[in-house]
Structure 1
Amino acid sequence: MKKLPIHRRGIEISPLSLGCMGFGGGWNTGSVTDEHVMEAQQALETSIEHGITFLDHADIYTFGKAEETFGRLLTEKPQWREQLWIQSKCGIRFEESATVPGRYDFDRNYIVKSVEGILSRLKVDYLDSLLLHRPDPLMDPEEVAEAISQLKSAGKVKYFGVSNMSRGQIELLQAYSEEPLIFNQLEMSLAKLDFLETGVLVNHPDGKYLQFPEGTMEYCRLQNIQLQAWGSLAQGLFSGRSVDDQPEAIRATAKRVSELALEKDCSREAIVLAWLMKHPAGIQPIIGTTNPERIAACSQAVDVTLSREEWYSLYVSARGKNMP
């Protein structure tokens, strides 16, 4: 698998990322078992074999067990550390009581403490990148900048970014931080089209129903911010999951994906991901599976080239109506 530079920043990452939310045996309070570690090892071995060396974690995934599972695995195979780009996220806190609800927290001390916990669970000395997971309405950008500076100077995080943030939110943070924010992770897929529709439906009445913040894609491209797509496989809607109970647009798109996969002699997963990667922003899909066969199927995406007409055939099919 070829490597993809992050625009002009001189950093190279694998064009696909392995999402680690499935590590650790599920969203429960059980312990990490040898079976969980073995499952993660099989997923990671397959990923490395196919050139997928960027790992996406978060401190909340399976209540911390995802990172703990990876940490146990890395203890057994320390040689993997320098082969991998390890990213994690922080800022989401779970409900603690009837009066302390689930919330977001970008307090300086909380960010620093979160990273210390992440490093401890992952059994690493530093993160290649840290993302702020979801926007905190009580965010003080000066505090966030202080946390970023502290983590950078301590050598605990190399690069920083955000997740699920708009242009304005990124601009506000960047205005106070000397360290560049170089990632933005957003939900984008054939089933989640607002990242395209926001641009297509400018000056169109249907645009008022969109949820994606206008100008975010363009801003990230102008600022050399790598866009990462979570939910990129749309939970298998177009690559094998039953769509009998889905709207006509989904069924038609699944059929078109299958046709293209047959024509190009590749997996359906590869078509779905190649569609995202065709976008000139250079989107990096995050694949959230631990199934080795599916990881291998996804890796084919880097060798698939869709024509403009093929790309539009999928887009128009998925939107369920002709272009305006």
Structure 2
Amino acid sequence: MQYQNIKNGPSEVSRIILGCMRMPSLSVQEVARQIEKAVEGGINFFDHATCYGRGEAEKRFGDALRETSIKREDLRIQSKCGLCFERNEFDWTKENILTSVDESLQRLKMDYLDVLLLHRPDLIYDPEEVAEAFEALEKSGKVRFFGVSNVPMMQLKVLKKFVKQPLSINQLQLSITASQLIDQTLYVNDLTTDLSLDRDNGLLDYCRLEDITIQAWSPLQFGKFEGCFVDHPDFPELNQALSELAEKYKVSKTAIAIAWILRHPAKMQVIAGTMNPKHLEDYCEATKVELTHHEWYQLYLASGKKLP
């Protein structure tokens, strides 16, 4: 496993994160085994959200951790708040942020979160309310570090104007096939393709400039949630390239696909949302692979892009 220090965030964190969204589908005993499997593979970072199973993922994790011998202080626990599907709204009000953290800690059976992320933008949020909430959470010791999830550059700038605490993380979608975070730079000023459209306003480079670590979600997906591109018949060239490199490095195709993200010099983390122990091993294997500059481009172009 590779580890990194997040600027203005937790140190010595695994570059692979176990995403806990699917934990409600498992029993407490199965979750305990998955946590142990993750730790055995070197993972020490776990990602939650209040909306995952409407809190059931956090509760299942909190109950399961007690079934193991793993110490809380050896883990980095992150949760997100703001998505309130039961009310059909996104909510970054001070009241909701504070209440969400208290409820998360209760479900997780913990005293603090290592990281709290605001989960997707609230269209009518008040940055001063967010600042007050973060200040209260830091002073109380309930949250140590802060960040966001799926938040664009200008909203980050507004938050940074009011919030005293550094924003150390932004969760964003990225995979070889869903590479919109990267594409526009390549196709800038090219009228022959929609890939030239600036959908993110330079968000990747902004995060690098501001020392905000990107956590890549859905790293094996094409589209948004359309499916996994590994072994998918719609991506024959990509799977051929993955197979060749998998054979070279003696790892799985999944590991190569994850290594493609880890190769980016922005030093991203990757969220593994799988509850399958074997698939989790594949993610961890990716940290043993250092793709060459040429191999990174080989995979990128095999996914259907072309150099202008």
- Corresponding position: 1:213 with 2:200: yes
**What is the 5 A alignment of 1:80-119?**
80-96=71-87, 102-119=88-105
Q: Which runs of no fewer than 5 residues in structure 2 stay unpaired?
A: none
Question: How do 1:1-324 and structure 2 match up within 5 A?
Answer: 1-7=1-7, 11-25=11-25, 36-77=27-68, 79-96=70-87, 102-205=88-191, 206=193, 210=197, 212-234=199-221, 237-240=228-231, 243-244=232-233, 246=234, 250-318=235-303, 320-324=304-308
- Paired amino acid for 1:193: S
| Alignment partners' CA distance in 2, 1:2 and 1:63 | 32
Number of residue pairs matched by the alignment = 303
Deviations 1:8-60 (A, max 9, x none): 867221111000011012xxxxxxxxx61122112111110010110011011
Structure 1 runs, 4 residues or longer, greater than 3 Å off: 7-10, 207-212
- For residues 162 and 197 of structure 1, the distance between their equivalents in structure 2, rounded to whole angstroms, comes to 22
Question: How far apart are residue 190 of structure 1 and its match?
Answer: 1.1
Counterpart Cα distance in 2 of 1:134 and 1:192? 18
Residue ranges of structure 1 left out of the alignment (5+ in a row)? 26-34, 97-101
Q: How far apart are residue 211 of structure 1 and its match?
A: 6.3
Change (3 A) 1:21 1:85: same
Instruction: Look up the SS of the partner of 1:300 in the other structure.
Output: helix
| 2:207 counterpart letter in structure 1 | C
2 CA distance for matches of 1:145 and 1:10? Answer: 20
CA RMSD of aligned residues (A): 1.8
The 1:38–1:76 alpha-carbon spacing in structure 2 relative to 1, beyond 3 Å, is closer
Deviations 1:40-96 (A, max 9, x none): 112111110010110011011112111010010123336431111000000001144
Amino acid at match of 2:151: M
Matched-pair contact (CA < 8 Å) for 2:58–2:107:
yes
Give the deviation of 1:2 after TM superposition. 2.9
Aligned in 2, Cα 1:210/1:288: closer, same or farther, shift over 3 Å? farther
Q: Does the C-alpha gap of structure 1 residues 95 and 65 become closer, same or farther in structure 2, counting only changes over 3 Å? A: closer
Mapped partners of 1:211, 1:156: distance in 2: 38
Query: How many percent of aligned residue pairs carry the same amino acid?
Result: 41
Contact conserved, 1:163 with 1:185, CA < 8 A, in 2? yes
When normalised by structure 2's length, the TM-score is 0.93
Equivalent position of 1:28 in the other structure: none
1:122 Cα deviation from its structure 2 partner: 0.6
Whole-angstrom CA distance in 2 between matches of 1:262 and 1:87: 35
